[in-house]
Amino acid sequence: MANKGGRTTVKRQLAPVFWDINRKQGRFIVRTYPGTHAKKYAYSIGVILRDVLKVTKNMHEAKKIVNAGKVKVDNIIRYNVNFAVGLMDTIELVSSQQKVYRLVPSKSLLLSPIEISDNEKTLKLLKIKNKSIIKGNKIQYGFHDGKTVILEDIYSVGDTCLVKVPELEIIETLKLQSDCLAILTRGDNAGSIGKIQEIKEGTFSLPKRVIISVDSRLLEIPIDMIMVISDRDNNPKIKVT
């Protein structure tokens, strides 16, 4: 009989380049199921627990922890080791240690866990990726992690919302504008933080992009590769480094 459930593993050599794993340890590794984040920009929970955070010795232990409901992503219990976790997601280990981590870009890596305080575990930055008008003249916004919300307020694609999860209550909106701080989310400079100097509108052949000052250098970056993390007071709204 054919397998209708889909593969739960992937060859280690084909795993995303940024995965912090030993590619010669075995032939296969737990894959990331498609969902909230694109597979090429996400970890699976199992890999995070065993290979990145190293809180388990093997995948059997990781599955036991997840099946017991001891892992929360964005304050929601997840029961699948293949569940995708990505940019700005919070991962809470519900145990005696009670540690909480956030996945952020760091040192040219797409995703790296940093430990955060318990006060920040319900806070998350979500970048607006798209928006559309729906019935009732309301606007549906789509965020970078696949979540959507319907609002009457008007925001722009590229803006960042500070939200409370899992309710998706918008606390504050950070506009994509000059003099704001932004973090580079992809590329050789992933994890670097700089001040936006100028915003350039897109053309037929070029996407909308920003001129950003990073370590005394001026870089021209597509807006898809940055996320605003503060308004003009230059203080990040949550811990990102």
CATH of residue 82: 3.10.290.10
Domain that holds residue 16: 9-120
Query: Is residue 235, in this structure, part of any structural domain at all?
Result: no
CA dihedral 109, 37, 240, 209 (to 10 degrees): 80
- Using left for φ > 0, alpha for ψ between -120 and 50, and beta otherwise, residue 144 falls in alpha
Digit-coded pLDDT (tens) for 88-125: 999 999 975 789 999 999 998 999 999 999 999 999 99
pTM score, two decimals?
Answer: 0.91
238 is a domain residue: no
Query: Where residue 141 falls among pLDDT bands split at 50, 70, 90?
Result: very high
Quick one: 25 and 115 in the same domain?
A: yes
The CA angle 84-112-215, to the nearest 5 degrees, is 135
Q: Are residues 82 and 151 in the same domain?
A: no
- Write down the H helix ranges in 15-54: 45-47
In which element (H, E) is residue 61 found? helix 59-67
Q: With b meaning 16 or more CB within 10 Å and e meaning fewer, what string describes 184-216?
A: bbbbebbbbbbbbeeeeeeeeeeeebbbbebee
- 241 found inside a domain: no
Indicate whether 186 and 168 sit together in one domain: no
Residue 234: inside a domain, yes or no?
Answer: no
Same domain, residue pair 70 and 15: yes
Query: Mean of the per-residue pLDDT values for the chain?
Result: 90
pLDDT of residue 6: 65
Domains of the chain: total: 3
Same domain, yes or no: 132 and 57: no
pLDDT at position 19 over 90: no
